[in-house]
Chain A
Amino acid sequence: MTEKRLISKLKNKDKKALDILIKEYSPYVYTIVRNILGQAMTKEDMEEVSADCFIKLWHISEKLDESRPLSPYLAACARNCAKNKLRELHIDYCADELFEDIVSPDSIQDSCEVSHQLSLITECLRGLSDIEQEIFVRFYYYGEKLRDISEMLEISENACKTKLCRTREKLRKYLAERGYTNE
């Protein structure tokens, strides 16, 4: 069954479609959750956080667009769920300013806002080079380390960091012009 068809069924609150999507995307979601939560939680806890991500997908399903892939939304959702879990545990994920949210979490009211913000980010990323897009998605959404990203892309870690900072700044400005700020 195509993803488009699954999204359509999900919009109609078909739990079988949700189960198929869980089977398909749980490695992706769990990997992101694990990257962010690291050693802070057990496997079972990280499975719970992954489950929370799919619950959010279920609740926002009526707003999903069949023409768009689920992976960007799931990545954003997994990241947010994991970060929320760290906040519950009073663990500061944003030790490095690069990890800070581009927009203030207070300005995002619900999952629809996350979805809207994500649309804006993907629009903005479209204007960037492939490598800039990849660094940003891997670091910001996947929680991967700059060292690992730079090794995979075969560039220096400093170059990787510079590109990431520039991308963040462009996104921050782009989003601020559209009402999302981090103040």
Chain B
Amino acid sequence: MNDLNWNERFVPLNMADKNDFSANSISLSVQNKLENEKGQITMTKKRIRPLMILAAAIATAAVSMISVNAATDGAITDAVGDTVTKIKMFINGEEVEADAHLVESGVDEEGNEYHVYTFDVDEDEADSVEIAIAEDDTVVNYDTELELSDDGSYETETDYTYDGESIDAVEAE
């Protein structure tokens, strides 16, 4: 059964033909969606280590760390410096302000500079988190909403801008 080709063995009744739909439209839509995904960032949630809990803003036993790995055009490096100082998070709709720390910078395989920031979220309390990262309220803005999941990773579409200019992003580990 594993090797059976369903569409040959069980040919669907009333199979759609070229008059019913446009394969080109589907193909074009797929291309556009894949193109748009280049602007997505992936956020990875990890268990924070005990050492890190000492510096955590939320002192509970179940604190998680979310890493944001964003490729930039390079200009952001000078603007941000070593640390993004303030993050505004809306946890379950309630605004929370926390510090974010630059923990890694580098250049990805495509030559794009990237930075990884960490900040702390109590995963037991947060069903959803909306994030806005800013320095002087102008430098970087993530306008996104993500659902925390148990498997530790997820993707989210993000409106990611720097001084009004779109910035490409790469996937986090």
Contacts and interface: CB of A to CB of B under 8 A. Distances in A.
Nearest to B37: A55
Interface residues of B, number: 31
B6 A26 contact: no
A136 to B, nearest CB: 10
A23 B13 contact: no
Contact of B3 (A18, A67, A134): A67
Contacts of B51: none
A47 B10 contact: no
A123 B149 CA distance: 29
A147 B40 CA distance: 45
A46 to B, nearest CB: 7
A154 B27 CA distance: 38
A69 B23 contact: no
A122 B7 contact: no
B27 A22 contact: yes
A30 B6 contact: no
A122 B2 contact: yes
B1 A125 contact: yes
A80 interface: no
Contact of B7 (A22, A55, A71): A71
**Which bucket holds chain A's interface residue count?**
35 or more
Contact of B13 (A28, A54, A144): A144
Interface in B1-31: 1-10, 12-17, 20-23, 25-27, 29-31
A100 interface: no
B75 interface: no
A116 interface: no
B54 interface: no
Contacts of A47: 21-22, 25-26, 29
Interface centre among B9, B17, B30 (most CB of A within 10 A): B30
Interface in B120-173: 149-151
A54 B7 CA distance: 16
A126 B2 contact: yes
A119 to B, nearest CB: 7
Contacts of B5: 69, 71
A58 B20 contact: no
A44 B24 CA distance: 12
A44 B29 CA distance: 10
Contacts of B14: 31
A138 B33 CA distance: 29
A15 B2 contact: no
A30 B30 contact: no
Interface of A: 15, 18-19, 22-23, 25-28, 30-32, 34-35, 43-44, 46-48, 50-52, 54-55, 58, 67-69, 71-72, 74-75, 109-110, 119, 122-123, 125-126, 133-134, 137-138, 141-142, 144, 148-149, 152
5 contacts: A27-B23, A47-B21, A47-B26, A71-B8, A134-B9
The 5 closest A-B pairs by CB, nearest first: A126-B1, A51-B29, A69-B5, A71-B7, A71-B6
